């Protein structure tokens, strides 16, 4: 009978799983210590500082009607065209791209 997809594969200690990072295969090293979660806001702020000027420059190069839509889409302006205060969104996608 075929193996069940829910069965857990037993591996000897030190044998890496397929796709395990090269530097961590079979070393028994647990890797870096877990963080307390406070690094995420810092990472988001750093990535925003790197990406935001280029994004704004790209939006400014658009034709007027598209520029207004893009500013609203990114949260930089309200629907009436008035500037939005503070940061618009978390900018998670740019942070993920830079972290990759």
In a domain, 95, yes or no: yes
pTM: 0.55
In a domain, 17, yes or no: no
- Residues 22-81 have pLDDT tens digits of 655 555 666 666 666 678 888 888 888 888 899 999 999 999 999 999 999 888 899 998
In a domain, 64, yes or no: yes
In a domain, 44, yes or no: no
In a domain, 89, yes or no: yes
Q: How many domains does the chain have?
A: 1
In a domain, 69, yes or no: yes
In a domain, 15, yes or no: no
CB 43 within 8 A of CB 99: yes
Can you give the residue range of the structural domain that contains 63? 52-100
Name the nearest CA neighbour of 14 among 26, 24, 23, 25. Answer: 26
């Amino acid at each position: 009978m075929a193996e069940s997809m829910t069965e857990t594969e037993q591996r000897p200690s030190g044998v890496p799983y397929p796709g395990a990072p090269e530097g961590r295969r079979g070393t028994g090293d647990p890797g870096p210590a877990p963080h307390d979660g406070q690094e995420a806001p810092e990472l988001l702020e750093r990535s925003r500082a790197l990406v935001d000027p280029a994004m704004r420059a790209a939006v400014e190069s658009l034709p007027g009607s598209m520029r207004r839509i893009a500013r609203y889409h990114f949260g930089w302006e309200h629907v009436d065209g008035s500037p939005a205060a503070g940061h618009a969104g978390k900018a998670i996608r740019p942070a993920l791209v830079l972290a990759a």
